[in-house]
Amino acid sequence: MPKRSSSVAGREFGAGVRAIIARTGLTHRQLAERLGWQEAKLSDMTLGKGGVTAIEVQILLAYCQATVEEREYLLALFQESGKAWLQMPEDGLPDQVRTLINQERDTEEIIDWSMILVPGLLQTPEYGYVVTEHAPSVEAENVPKVAAARAARADILEPGRKFTFFVHEQALWLQVGGLEVWREQLAHLLRMSVRKYISFRIIPRSAGMHAGTAGDFRMMKFPKYPPVVYVESVNYCLFFDDPDTIKIHEDILTALAAIALSEEESRAVIDDILEGL
């Protein structure tokens, strides 16, 4: 594989290789010497930048005693070269895939667009529990565990990153759970919206048809890598990092910003809904 800019699949591949190398107790220099490679070659591989062949990947994994499952998974990632990376998790939980959690951890900025529900990172545990209960891919006995895992992802909402949430007004009017769950969710949005590193802006119902009606998505930006667009459905998720797709979604976000209410106006809408409950 020729060298290339790091992609989502490439970074996932590199992380998997690094984990397997770490189990050997060898440094990258020591392993490169034993394989007869330049250390830079191994470095490119572990950063997901290619520069190696499939045979060389197999040699490294065999030397490091990777399991059959690890070899199959990493070789499949190595061959991944499309504009989109589709994942269909066996447990049917797109927002719990390791790739998404790793990408979120590495971001410096997240821009989220949501039409129907409050964005996952802003959901209260109670609201998220009700959403999880109604997810067709989650078995009833797994609801508490899945809901808790989803709630834990909100830990990334902290200073040092920037978060922008564009949310359609209809999402705030959708009653999820009982009245108290609904009230607390709206109050939580007010509390979160005043944090300096969070921008919460509502697309009013009066805006009518707009560019965002194509569907929800999240754009994640990184210090060293190109942006990634993440889209999920009931039992699958997609990661895009090709320039054309990124540009289309950047244009959608620009269009949303042009029609969205200001942060102060958005808080006023939430206040008005709360007063009517």
pLDDT of residue 56: 87
- Interaxial angle between packed helices 8-24 and 98-106, expressed in degrees from 0 to 180 and rounded to the nearest 10: 100
The predicted pLDDT at position 6 comes to: 67
Residue 168 is predicted with a pLDDT of: 98
Selection from 195, 274, 263, 237 nearest residue 100 by Cα:
237
Question: What's the confidence (pLDDT) of residue 5?
Answer: 58
Cα–Cα distances in angstroms (integers) from residue 22 to residues 30, 41, 48, 72, 240, in the given order: 12, 17, 16, 19, 29
- What number of other Cβ atoms are within 10 A of residue 47's Cβ? 18
Q: Please tell me the distance from the alpha carbon of residue 145 to that of residue 128, in angstroms, as a whole number.
A: 12
Residues of the chain with pLDDT below 50 are 1-2
Q: Which element (helix H / strand E) includes 201?
A: strand 198-203
What pLDDT score was predicted for residue 92? 61
Record the tokens describing residue 75, joined without a space.
């070789």
State residue 2's pLDDT score. Answer: 47
Q: What local confidence, expressed as pLDDT, does residue 197 receive?
A: 97
Task: Indicate the pTM of the whole model.
Answer: 0.81
Taking only the tens place, the pLDDT of each residue in 31-42 is 989 988 988 888
Instruction: Dump pLDDT digits (tens) for 116-174.
Output: 999 999 999 999 999 999 988 888 998 999 899 889 989 999 999 999 999 999 999 99
- How many other C-beta atoms are found inside a 10 Å radius of the C-beta of residue 86? 10
What CA–CA distances, in Å, run from 229 to 7, 129, 238, 260?
Answer: 12, 26, 8, 21
Give the strands of the sheet with 198-203, arranged side by side. 84-87, 237-240, 228-232, 217-221, 109-114, 162-168, 198-203
Residue 96: predicted pLDDT: 75
